[in-house]
Amino acid sequence: MKHHLPSLHALRAFESAARLGAFNRAADELGLSATAISHHIRGLEAELGTRLFVRNTRKIALTDNGLLLANVSKGSFQSLADVIETLRNRGSRSSVSIALGPLLASRWLSPRLEQFWERFPDIDLQVMHTSLRVDPKAISADIYLAWGDGQWADLEASPFLMVSMVPVASQVYFNKHGQPQKIEQLFTHQLIHQRSRSGWDLWLADHQLKLPPDTGGIVIEDANVVVRTAISGQGIALGWLPLIEDEIASGKLVPLFGKKSAKPLGYHLIKPKVRNANPNISEVVKWLIDESTETAS
């Protein structure tokens, strides 16, 4: 199937400028002049028949169409880079690649890497951080720990680690703003959102409530930053058990209401069906499942 795509150079220039927020920074990254970057992007806009950037005197901003293209191009170039890095790193030693989000990587996988090296001293583990928004089918990894309901067509997915949402904040925040005793009282507090309001919408729906449309708050992309922001006393966030158990046990975060979401969401372990045979993948999968079972217990 032939793909009718614009110039790869133009798409690369656009992706870099969109990600870095400036033509001159994109030029430095790609080893081009700012004029060349601007030329590529104007040509891309002409070919697509739409503006991708709003150009002001000192800065640029993505249009709605530009944001749409930026979200797709960023993931696509990242997936391509991951595959190329995987191919470059394959040598005489065996390697296994695993893709997962930054929260699970930092709070679940990283503390267990020492056990991994002890168990598999001859395996090079390649860890790819990926956004939860990325379709697992777009990730070229031996193993993918993906967030969702487990329903992905043409992929072998099995439950890995189920999590529960619970509102949390620091005692510093409660000392200053008071601790809500009823769920409805949350609406008068500063809420911390991850990426969008959807997390709070989901949690509240489980309690037959809705987030008022005029509810404000802080919107943060990275889940790890969400946790740090809550610890610093900036508001009430939705934390994920068991990934924040250490913060709760140490008193850095205080859980509210003692209720957990009943939604069947969590991390699933995915192995693409079509890959080169690597017997070490099955061994690593077994180790991951054993570790997740111990976490759940």
Q: Examine residue 83 and state whether it is found in any structural domain, yes or no.
A: no
Both 95 and 236 in one domain: the answer is no
Residues 185 and 231 grouped into a single domain: yes
Is 84 within the bounds of a domain?
no
- Is there a single domain that holds both residue 130 and residue 62? no
Residues 36 and 99 in one domain: no
Residue 192 resides in a domain: yes
CB 75 within 8 A of CB 138: yes
Instruction: Please tell me the distance from the alpha carbon of residue 196 to that of residue 135, in angstroms, as a whole number.
Output: 18
For CA atoms 199, 247, 227, 79, the dihedral sign is negative
Is there a domain that residue 131 lies in? yes
pLDDT digits (tens, 9 = 90+) for 212-270: 887 778 888 888 899 999 999 999 999 988 889 889 999 999 999 875 555 657 888 88
Per-residue pLDDT tens digits for 103-127: 899 889 999 999 999 998 888 888 8
What's the pLDDT score for residue 276? 53
Name the amino acid, one letter, at 206: D
Torsion of CA 65, 68, 72, 77, to 10 degrees: 50
- Residue 73: pLDDT over 80: yes
Whether residues 142 and 112 share a domain: the answer is yes
Residue 249 sits in the same domain as residue 278:
no
Are residues 220 and 182 part of one domain? yes
Residue 150 sits in a domain whose CATH number is 3.40.190.10
Tell which wins on pLDDT, 58 or 23.
Answer: 23
Q: Using N-to-C axis directions, what is the helix angle for 23-30 and 34-48, rounded to 10°?
A: 110
Give how far Cα 98 sits from Cα of 113, 126, 145, Å.
13, 6, 7
DSSP letter, residue 232: T
Q: Looking at the structure, do residues 67 and 142 belong to the same domain, yes or no? A: no
Same domain, 99 and 155: yes
Split at pLDDT 50, 70, 90, the class of 186 is very high
Q: Is residue 23 part of a domain?
A: yes
Compute the Cα dihedral for 250, 297, 204, 217 and give only its sign: positive
What does the CA dihedral 204, 210, 215, 219 come to, rounded to 10 degrees? 50
79 lies in a domain?
Answer: no
One domain, residues 143 and 276? yes
* Contact predicate 158/286, CB 8 Å: no
Query: Residue 3 pLDDT > 80, yes or no?
Result: no
Q: Read off the CATH number of the domain in which 39 is found.
A: 1.10.10.10
Residues 106 and 52 in one domain: no
Q: Which of 75-84, 183-192, 239-248 comes out lowest in average pLDDT?
A: 75-84
Is 260 part of a structural domain of the chain? no
- Structural domain range at position 148: 90-162+265-296
Rg (CA), the chain: 22
Compute the Cα dihedral for 21, 128, 265, 108 and give only its sign.
negative
What secondary structure does DSSP assign to 2-41, as a single string?
------HHHHHHHHHHHHHT-HHHHHHHHT--HHHHHHHH
Q: What is the pLDDT of residues 129-181, one digit of tens each?
A: 876 555 666 667 888 898 877 777 677 788 899 888 899 999 999 999 999 99
Burial group, residue 280, by CB count within 10 angstroms (0-12, 13-18, 19+): middle
Does residue 2 belong to any structural domain of this protein?
no
Asked if residue 169 and residue 24 are part of one domain, the reply reads: no
CA distance 77 to 18: 13
**Residue 89 binned pLDDT confidence (cut-offs 50, 70, 90):** low
Residue 248's pLDDT is 92
Structural domain total, the chain: 3
